[in-house]
Homo-oligomer: A and B are copies of this chain.
Amino acid sequence: MSDLPARIDIQEEGPREGFQIEPGPIATDRKIALIDALTETGLKKIQVASFVNPKRVPGWADAGEVVAGFKRKPGVAHHVLWLNEKGLERALACQDIDMFGSISTTTSETFMGMNTNRGFAENVVVQRNQIATYKQHGVPVTRASIMTAFGCNFEGDIAPARVVERLEELIGLAEDEAVDIKIISLADTVGWATPRSVKQVVGAVRDRWPDKRICLHLHDTRGCGIANVYAGLELGVDLYDASVAGLGGCPFAGHKGAAGNVCTEDMVFMCEEMGIETGIDLEALIEAARLAEDIVGHDLPGKVMRGGALSALRREAKARARRA
């Protein structure tokens, strides 16, 4: 009936996503406290900061201090985001940061134009240059990402064939440059996905590239996030981006009211309850989610941090049964 994976990997994006979008300033030591808490949960990949123009993203003006300050732990890869060579150079100057390169495109030239002022043709040049820069710095290029893979606020519905076509171009140029893309990341950038479109797009991409690992980057804009995760699980997709407590939102044009990524601890709860291993300590992650909420100073959308895990209830139920 389905092909649920035995285990999945979750890439935590909460700190980077969340602190970029919050309106108020957040103290550097609070950002570090959240990263340190997440590092102890069993998460293996955590995106901790964004090396971007502080004039455009003031929430990350302290990226350098954050990256200098958090505790490293063997087996946990901390990585950072950058959008240009200057950002990459700042990242390269950091100690103990997991460096991997990513190339990207969108399904929608309108969306791309609105957000990066590029067309598809120009993006090919930019991505090719990006690969050259990565090579120059010895950074492995492992990931090809496609935004608006399930629909676009400007171009509407997107056929799965278009996703494949845009990825052909992107992965084709990687192959031209002798770069081996291991992961294809499908992003529901503006929250159009439903379980049906997840199945259609993942199916089409997997048919074309059966040997590459698929990652789903899902936003919970219209409440389908966790159902979309479940649709991915049913297809055996075993790599997901997520955001603790549901931190974040979408900084893109034309996208008011956007919710953040799917909530990490809600996803961990669902997976572990279904026997899918995540390697994550749910109770510790719930504590981190509560810390995130305390740091931003307002309610965040995560549910299981309010509803609670089931382990304590199970223990009490067993003790009650013994007493009876």
Contact = CB atoms under 8 A, between A and B. Distances in A.
A227 interface: yes
Contacts of A299: 299
A153 interface: yes
A313 interface: yes
Contacts of A301: 301
Interface stretch (A28-36, A55-63, A176-184, A265-273): A265-273
Interface string A146-165: 00000111111100000000
Contacts of A314: 156-157
Contacts of A191: 307
Nearest to A155: B317
Contacts of A151: 310
Interface in A182-201: 191-192, 194-197, 199
Contacts of A197: 273
A216 B285 CA distance: 30
A54 interface: no
Interface string A297-324: 0010111101110100110111011000
21 contacts: A110-B320, A153-B313, A155-B321, A191-B307, A195-B230, A196-B274, A221-B306, A221-B307, A222-B266, A222-B269, A222-B304, A223-B263, A223-B269, A223-B303, A224-B226, A224-B266, A224-B269, A224-B270, A226-B226, A257-B306, A259-B307
A251 to B, nearest CB: 15
Contacts of A293: none
A222 B303 contact: yes
A231 interface: yes
Interface of A: 1, 110, 151-157, 191-192, 194-197, 199, 220-224, 226-227, 229-231, 257-259, 263, 266, 269-270, 273-275, 299, 301-304, 306-308, 310, 313-314, 316-318, 320-321
Nearest to A262: B223
Nearest to A220: B303
A234 to B, nearest CB: 8
Given A223-B269, A227-B227, 12 more contacts: A1-B199, A154-B316, A154-B320, A156-B321, A196-B274, A221-B303, A222-B303, A224-B226, A227-B230, A257-B306, A257-B308, A301-B301
Q: Which among A110, A197, A263, A317 has the highest number of chain B CB atoms within 10 Å?
A: A317
> Nearest 6 A-B pairs (CB), nearest first?
A223-B266, A156-B317, A223-B303, A221-B307, A257-B306, A196-B274
Given A220-B303, A229-B227, A230-B227, A195 B274 contact: yes
A304 B223 contact: yes
A230 B119 CA distance: 37
Contacts of A194: 270, 273-274
